[in-house]
Amino acid sequence: MDQPAATRLARTWRMLLKEISAFGVVGAVCFVLDVGLFQVLYVHAGVDAVLAKLISTLVSTTAAYFGHRHWSFSHRARTGLRREYTLFVAINGITLLLGLFIVWLVRYPLGQESALVLQLANVGSIALGTVLRFLSYRRWVFLDPAHPSVAPKRDPRVSLDPAA
């Protein structure tokens, strides 16, 4: 293996490790925020389990966007707040629906009212959503600067040929 390829490979692995590490830290903080807020709302405030899950997820999702944009994936191309946040919210919306479905399934069809059982369902939904979010953020939200869709778009009506 030639040196430049080995260097690129090492750099790629270091960057992936940085992304996974930062993603993990941001995720851990948002996990504590989500679980803690769910616990406070459901157990102490008497909010319905599904509504508590909705609120805790919305709060932790907003915190996660800023953490990931400004730390986990800060080295990646900036493709516009509107585009990124729209995709981020869409991906989190899908994982939110998955989480709500899991909590709903455990609470209502399975008839579980125990805070511990519902919290386990909540944590399981967070774990599954975490994997889906990491892969989706890297693929669609925070693009690699080398990704073809990040390249500047050229207007075909504008010629770069001085003779034209």
All structural domains of the chain with their residue ranges = 3-144
What's the pLDDT band for 2 if we cut at 50, 70, 90? low
Instruction: Summarize pLDDT for 85-133 with one digit per residue, the tens.
Output: 899 989 988 998 999 999 999 999 999 999 999 999 999 998 899 889 9
Q: Is the pLDDT of residue 32 over 90?
A: yes
Token pair 């800023």 in the structure block, residue: 66
Cβ-Cβ contacts under 8 Å for 111 (sequence gap 6 or more) = none
Q: Exposed, middle or buried, 137 (CB in 10 Å: 0-12/13-18/19+)?
A: buried
- Single-letter code of the amino acid located at 92: N
Q: Exposed, middle or buried, 106 (CB in 10 Å: 0-12/13-18/19+)?
A: buried
